[in-house]
Amino acid sequence: MALSIKDRYFLKKLAIVSIPMIAQNVITSCLNLVDTFMLGRLGEENIAAAGCANQMFFLFTLTVIGLLGGTTVFIPQFWGKRDSDSINKTIGFCGCLCMSVAFIVFLLVQIFPSQILGVFSESEEVVLLGTDYLRIVSFTYLLFPASMCLSSGLKGTGRPLIPMKISALCVFINIVLNYIFIFGKFGFPFMGIKGAALATLVARAVELFLIAKNVFSPDSPLVLKFSKMFSFSREFAKKILKVSLPVTFNESLWAFATVIYNFCYARLGTDSFAAYQAAVNIMDIFLMMIVGFGNAGAVIIGHKIGQKLIKVAKNYANRFVFICVIWGAAVALIMFAFAPFFTMIFSVKPETVELITQTLKSMSLVVLFKAFNTVTILGILRSGGDTKYAFYSEMFCMWAIGVPAAIICGVFLRLPLYLMVIFVGLEEFTKTFFIIPRLVSKKWVHNLTQ
């Protein structure tokens, strides 16, 4: 049966918005995989050290994403209404919030690096290596929020191609500099794990410069002006906070819970934790595709809500769910079937390779539910301004099921890694029973531009 005009329009819009977002997320995830591959040539301790150090960045990143909840929810709707002044104010206010948090986190990491890393590993060598890495890479905390804030403005207006191209270039720069700095090529001294941190810092600086250059150019669709960005009123700030604070608490508590998960996985030993980090890097490539798809959904559905085309927005949401379920099932099958082949890229001990294979197969059993929950929460509930329900459902499942399962399995029972992944994954299975009724009820749609 031939596709209708409406179907063709939806699929065309979906491709235009989602492909660059998916590509950007996959490129970024591949960078983490390359880091793990290169550091793996120096030993499992280096993989574990970078993994522990990046837990702080992960926690910080999710907090920033939460604070930018105002941009991801409001900008698509404001753009649907063609309200450029409000887009300026949204980016300015959310940017101020993010940079304030960035400065505080940067100071904490610079002053207490070994204490922070000691939470995740009992190995003195891992903590020492991680401290060297963290002291350098923490400077990116002052660059990353600004890049994210400006990029979210471009994505929210349906123009994700610019951030994608910049990310691709910066990932290439990062990979090349990793090779040069880590192994001491082309006349540079051997830096080991410090080289990976320095390469990341240089790449982040280039990324911010290029994004700012594009966003503030006269041809930018955002038409950003400093005079407008910081002209927000107290009432406008309250309006943004009312929606973005649940997202902030959601992402921050989710990140904190994930840090607890990693603490519990680290209790299984350095080899198990290194295997878990490697498996997560592989899974993240697939998961970031799903996240990019969800973010595209938030833009497309948000535009329709801003245009007051509520029926169309609900129809698009149904289509996103259908595509998401098929995609999640395909990813699960690929991860399970090709798990032994994915491990071939790592230069680690045979025992660690086997652990990575088992862990990937366990993750494949969880990824279908994770895909569904990710797309519906990021792409549908939040685009409709239904951030409180998303917050309550995620937090209950994570803190009532996921965290206790991780503590019991990792700290007390010391279960094998692959079994622990399955028990912790029950969180995602349970979450679907909270999300489905909300989607069916259609109560998630709220026009925030009125």
In a domain, 62, yes or no: yes
Following DSSP, what letter does each residue of 271-307 receive, concatenated?
A: HHHHHHHHHHHHHHHHHHHHHHHHHHHHHHHHHHHHT
DSSP string, 132-147: HHHHHHGGGGGTHHHH
Calpha distance 285→288 (Å, rounded): 5
Structural domain range at position 102:
5-441
pLDDT at 7: 65
For the chain, what is the mean pLDDT? 85
Residue count (the chain): 450
pLDDT for residue 70: 65
Whether residue 276 contacts residue 417, with contact meaning beta carbons closer than 8 Å, is answered with: yes
Is the pLDDT confidence value at 269 over 70? yes
Confidence label for 30 from pLDDT (cuts 50, 70 and 90): low
Angle, alpha carbons 201-90-13 (nearest 5°) = 85
pLDDT at residue 28 greater than cutoff 70: no
Query: Is residue 2 over pLDDT 50?
Result: no
pLDDT at 214: 86
How high is the pLDDT of residue 372? Answer: 93
Whether the per-residue pLDDT at 298 is higher than 50: the answer is yes
Confidence bin at 5 (pLDDT 50/70/90): very low
> Does some domain include residue 210?
yes
Domain assignment of residue 449, yes or no: no
Q: What is the mean pLDDT of residues 274-282?
A: 86
pLDDT class for 3, splitting at 50, 70, 90?
Answer: very low
The pLDDT of residue 40 is: 75
Q: Which of 264, 262, 277, 261 is nearest to 352 (CA)?
A: 277
* 98-102, 184-188, 241-245, 265-269: the lowest-pLDDT one: 241-245
Mean pLDDT of 357-367: 94
Residue 432: inside a domain:
yes
Residue range 77-104: average pLDDT? 85
pLDDT category at 1 given cuts 50, 70, 90 is: very low
Question: DSSP labels for 126-192?
Answer: HHHHHHHHHHHHGGGGGTHHHHHHHHHHHHHTT-THHHHHHHHHHHHHHHHHHHHHHHT-TTPPP-T
Question: How far apart, in whole angstroms, are the C-alpha atoms of residue 76 and residue 447?
Answer: 11
For residue 450, tell me if it sits in a domain.
Answer: no
Of 284 and 103, which is predicted with more confidence?
103
Model confidence at 181: pLDDT above 80: yes
Which pLDDT does position 405 carry in this prediction? 96
Q: Does residue 263 fall inside a structural domain? A: yes
Instruction: Examine residue 446 and state whether it is found in any structural domain, yes or no.
Output: no
Q: Answer whether residue 239 is part of any domain.
A: yes
Domain total for the chain? 1
**Per-residue model confidence (pLDDT) at position 355:** 93
